[in-house]
Amino acid sequence: MDNLKQLVSLGSSSNAVVFSLLLGMLLGAASYIGFQRRKKSKEPLDPVEYREFPLIDKTIVSHNTRKFRFALADSEATLNLPLGKHVYVKAEVDNKEVSRPYTPISPKETKGYFELLIKVYPAPYGTMSRYLDSLKCGDSLLVRGPKGKFTYARNMRKCLGMIAGGTGITPMYQLIQAILNDPQESTSIRLIFANVTVDDILLKDELESFAKKHPRFQVFFVLNQPPENWQQGVGFVSRQHIEQHIGMPQRGEKMVLHCGPPPMNKAMRSILLEMGYEEDDLFKF
């Protein structure tokens, strides 16, 4: 009988220990989940959930280009968007849901707001751009992110070649300013930027200022309709332009990024492969 009592007592003690361990694990898991949720809620962006950001400033850059500034809930927070990533914006236009990817042009360390540079296209194109142009200060925009497959690491290549067309400059600009403003960076950047006219060149002053200030950065403009006495590229971006201003492949040391209209992206990829660039030395935004 005494042995039986001892066994029952031992069994009860063991059950109590197991119960305590399980309870501790459950409480720990609940605490961790709660922490992660609180941490997630503090982040300005969420990759799944669209969040509202109010428009606080709108600047007319040119006849068809606007710069929009959207506020963060915390004036001391940054957007926390990794280099090479973009966001998606969503709106309901004419009873249809529309979403588009955009890359902010504000520096990564900017606190309290982020900026989008948008070219407004006439109907029937540019549904989202025209919607954005209709926004007034105080209106909110639905945004989620980060999104994108490209990941940049400091000094990942000795040289980055970039080929941009029109608004395709925005993901490049994000990288350019971050790399050139980082004192630990040694990466050189060679940009070819194609547009129709001089007036279409987005961020022209900023890019030329970077080129004057940073020897590691060079920019070459190509125009389809150049003005008189134009000294840079004419027509479409060609193999000759790429050879002269970005150069031939250097396996593992040089990477070429490109972003523009689909026909341009297709043509650039074809030329770069013909030049001997490998697939993993190329990336299309």
119 annotated as belonging to a binding site for a ligand: yes
Q: Which member of 50, 131, 173, 259 is catalytic?
A: 259
Catalytic-residue membership of 86: yes
31 annotated as belonging to a binding site for a ligand: no
Catalytic-residue membership of 59: no
Q: Which member of 103, 167, 173, 245 is catalytic?
A: 103
151 annotated as belonging to a binding site for a ligand: no
111 annotated as belonging to a binding site for a ligand: no
Q: Which member of 102, 152, 173, 277 is catalytic?
A: 102
129 annotated as belonging to a binding site for a ligand: yes
Q: Which member of 50, 65, 86, 277 is catalytic?
A: 86
Catalytic-residue membership of 241: no
Angle in degrees, CA 21, 23, 24, rounded to 5: 65
102 annotated as belonging to a binding site for a ligand: yes
Catalytic-residue membership of 102: yes
257 annotated as belonging to a binding site for a ligand: no
What Cα–Cα distance (Å) separates residue 133 from each residue in 71, 103, 196, 198? Answer: 17, 17, 22, 22
Known binding-site residue numbers for FAD: 100-102, 117, 119, 128-129, 170
Known binding-site residue numbers: 100-102, 117, 119, 128-129, 170
Catalytic center residues: 86, 102-103, 259
